[in-house]
Amino acid sequence: GKGTVAATPEQGDVEYLAPINIGGQTMNMDFDSGSSDLWIFSTKLPAASQTGHQNFDSTKSTSFKAITGASFSISYGDGSGAAGMVGTDTVNIGGATVTSQAIELATTVSASFVSDTNSNGLVGLAYSKLNTVKPTQQKTFFDNAMPSLAQPVFTADLRKAAVGSYEFGNIDSTKFNGSLQWTAVNTTQGFWQFSSTKFSVGTGAAMANPGNQAIADTGTTLMLANAAVINGYYSQVQGAVNNATVGGVTFPCAAKLPDLNVDVGGNFNAVVRGDDINFAPVDATGQTCFGGLQAISGNLQIFGDIMFKSNFVVFNGGNNSLAMAPHG
């Protein structure tokens, strides 16, 4: 089988939401290739946390089964998190269906999830080894769906301020230009991870970024790269400054932003368009803009939605590889 759902950006492309059906109930969810729990807002939450959200009611699903004694607890890089209980139910994403998918019913969620009323949970699409359910770890939707998918793949087609799509089991060649370029991924840490040891800015010379890795993460808004990339890139942007008050690099909104070229797995170069690196104005005057490329320390970079806006991405769970091509 296969399934396709629309991926709709929140205001400002902060995250992309897509509908899934759980035991007959539709929930708009944040698909996250950087984590591996499918958790949902539920009627088990305090009433105040449920306000404004779609809340899954397990008592209204005839196919829901609790997993006695199972629980989950997850925290994300941005400090947000959720925890609760676990059951199984039928999950249908655009036609791709898993009859006994572990669904994690939140009994507590952090404040930033409560206030993000467009999102009613996450669909984790990284490797199942990262799943937080105890005492028995559970599988992701993609792992469970794979054997019945026409191809063992899912694709992300995320667009700047426009509706895109997530697709399971099929690669829609009308959604990208040219040919897909492939790399193997390193699954050791449970991410869709690859090396990225070179980069260039605009038409500039390639610069080394030795020992660096990156993950493809649809659940992170920005593109988080190490100091070498940040300095190499923003040294080419007139008026770019590290603005501690705002919390990152800003530049004049009128700045002409060069493309960023990053090596993927030593196999190909991915282009992140300059226009996609202009993330948003920092205030209503629209004079100063916040960069979509921001710093992260260490050598595991996080290529989030900013990278996906320039590239159609295929995740192949059959042979643990990943492909990219410019959007069509």
Ligand X SMILES: NCc1ccc(-c2ccco2)nc1
Residues recognised as catalytic:
32, 217
Minimum CB distance to ligand X smaller for 31 or for 251: 31
For the bound state, the minimum distance from the C-beta of residue 145 to ligand X, rounded and expressed in Å, comes to 21
Give start and end residues of each alpha helix (H) in the chain: 47-50, 111-115, 141-145, 227-234, 274-277, 305-310
* Under rule CB under 6 A, residue 220 binds ligand X: yes
Is residue 113 involved in binding ligand X (CB under 6 A)? yes
**How many residues form the binding site for ligand X (CB under 6 A)?**
15
Sheet with 293-295, side-by-side order of all strands? 193-195, 213-216, 300-303, 223-225, 293-295
For the chain, the maximum distance between any two Cα atoms, rounded to a whole number of angstroms, is 60
Rounded Cα–Cα distance for residues 30 and 53 (Å) = 13
220/294 with CB nearer ligand X: 220
Closest separation in Å from C-beta 82 to ligand X: 9
Select the residue interacting with ligand X from 89, 116, 143, 276 (CB under 6 A). Answer: 116
Q: From residue 59 to residue 98, what is the string marking binding to ligand X with x (rule CB under 6 A)?
A: -----------------x-x-x------------------
Residue in this structure with the two tokens 């490797």, named with its chain if needed: 127
CB 303 within 8 A of CB 296: no
Could you say whether residue 268 binds ligand X (CB under 6 A)? no
- Taking the least distance from each CB to ligand X, the nearer of 56 and 113 is 113
- Write the binding mask 11 to 50 for ligand X: x where contact by CB under 6 A, - elsewhere: ----x--------------x-x-xx---------------
For ligand X, the closer CB: 80 or 181: 80
The rounded distance, in Å, linking the Cα atoms of 161 and 9 is 6
* 54 binds ligand X, rule: CB under 6 A: no
| Nearest distance, CB of residue 111 and ligand X, angstroms | 8
**Which positions touch ligand X (CB under 6 A)?**
15, 30, 32, 34-35, 76, 78, 80, 112-113, 116, 119, 122, 219-220
